[in-house]
Amino acid sequence: MSIATLNIPLHVKYIQNLGKSDDELMYHLTAHLRLNAVYWGLAALCVMGHKEALDRGEMIDFVMSCWDDEAGGFGAHPDHDAHLLSTCSAIQILVMQDALDRLDIPRVVNFIASLQQPSGVFAGDSFGEIDTRFLYCAVNSLSLLGQLDKMDVGKAVEYIRHCRNFDGGFGSRIGAESHAAQVFVCVGSLAILDRLDVCDADTLSWWLSERQMDSGGLNGRPQKLEDVCYSFWVLSALSILNKLEYIDSDKLISFILSAQDPEGGGIADRPGDMVDVFHTCFGTAGLSLVGYPGLEDLDPVYCMPAKLIEKMGLRKGWKALERRSG
């Protein structure tokens, strides 16, 4: 079944209804991602030009209810321990809602900086799991707060350099296989830190272009299934490298559109599967980057509205495809 257009009103409604879900089981299953989910919902609404569809005051109150006062960071849910993933989402939401005045900036900066390891990478929390995703969360958050000088940038860049593989991609830690999501976090961090020279741009753009499958969808590494969320991981890195033309955007657009749920709204990982807010966010984000008509520009480095990032003076040299006319 092919669906020719993005059903914006239906997706907006889908996101609005997420907060009202009385499905107890799903509610508890996703508690460890709640704050991230609010960010995904808000980012998707911004891309679709309906930021106001979720109540600003309620959202800010929810974010602040996730503050872990002992640690000085945000948990994914009230009473959860602070983690770098949820702290990054909280800061992104507060920036998008122009509510940074609610934040104890020195404390949260201290929390983030304290998670940097001697190797340069960041741990997600005090349990010490390390991952280049956490490094990106730290770089993204500190940059939004204008506090990059509070981390050891040189060491972080060296860590990323050591994660680079011979295929041009990056893994989750030193020695790990290249994966498109890890490519996004490493390339995004390097872009924010103005150190894209660390990328082997030719090899990496080759590897990224080979993520596109015959269906038009993108996969995360060789010989794996295509998935809508890779539309963002692959496209963001390609647009930062200024090589977005290396994939067939028409075919990708039809793949993403075919993963919409035409009745309940939302976008799934691939056609026919259950929708969720994560894939709705990264599907619309991918559509925005390849110039799908009627969408707002998205900054691929921060995965936030481009206008906002530009106003903050943080825009880097990425290039998206020109917005098509309806």
Interacting residues toward another protein by CB under 8 A: 127-129, 165-167, 172-173, 175-179, 205-207, 209-210, 212, 221-224, 243, 245-248, 251
CB atoms within 10 A of CB 234: 29
**Binding of residue 226 to Zn ion (CB under 5 A):** no
Q: Which two tokens stand for residue 207?
A: 């590897």
DSSP state of 297: P
Parallel, antiparallel or unpaired: strands 298-299 and 275-276: unpaired
Q: Which is nearer to Zn ion, 63 or 256 (CB)?
A: 256
CB of 180 to Zn ion, least distance (A): 10
The listed partner (Zn ion, another protein, none) that binds 178, CB under 5 to 8 Å by sort, is another protein
Q: Which is nearer to Zn ion, 190 or 247 (CB)?
A: 247
CB of 29 to another protein, least distance (A): 11
Among the residue ranges 91-99, 110-118, 120-128, 263-271, the one whose residues contact Zn ion (CB under 5 A): 263-271
Size of the site for Zn ion (CB under 5 A): 3
User: Which neighbouring-strand residues pair with 298?
Assistant: 305
**Binding of residue 125 to Zn ion (CB under 5 A):** no
- Among candidate residues 271, 308, 227, 305, the one with its CA nearest the CA of residue 3: 271
Reduce the DSSP state of residue 52 to 3 states and report it.
Answer: helix
Alpha helices of 69-131 — where are they, by DSSP H?
Answer: 84-96, 105-114
State the Cα–Cα distance between residues 303 and 282, nearest whole angstrom. 9
**Binding of residue 229 to Zn ion (CB under 5 A):** yes
The listed partner (Zn ion, another protein, none) that binds 269, CB under 5 to 8 Å by sort, is Zn ion
- For CA atoms 243, 247, 253, 255, the dihedral sign is negative
Reduce the DSSP state of residue 288 to 3 states and report it.
Answer: helix
CB of 171 to another protein, least distance (A): 8
- Among candidate residues 161, 132, 135, the one with its CA nearest the CA of residue 148: 135
User: Which neighbouring-strand residues pair with 130?
Assistant: 123
Among the residue ranges 35-43, 195-203, 214-222, 224-232, the one whose residues contact Zn ion (CB under 5 A): 224-232
The listed partner (Zn ion, another protein, none) that binds 205, CB under 5 to 8 Å by sort, is another protein
Secondary structure tally for the chain: helices H, strands E: 14, 6
Q: Which is nearer to another protein, 7 or 165 (CB)?
A: 165
Q: Which is nearer to Zn ion, 261 or 269 (CB)?
A: 269
Among the residue ranges 139-147, 178-186, 233-241, 267-275, the one whose residues contact Zn ion (CB under 5 A): 267-275
Which residues of the chain form contacts with Zn ion (CB under 5 A)?
A: 227, 229, 269
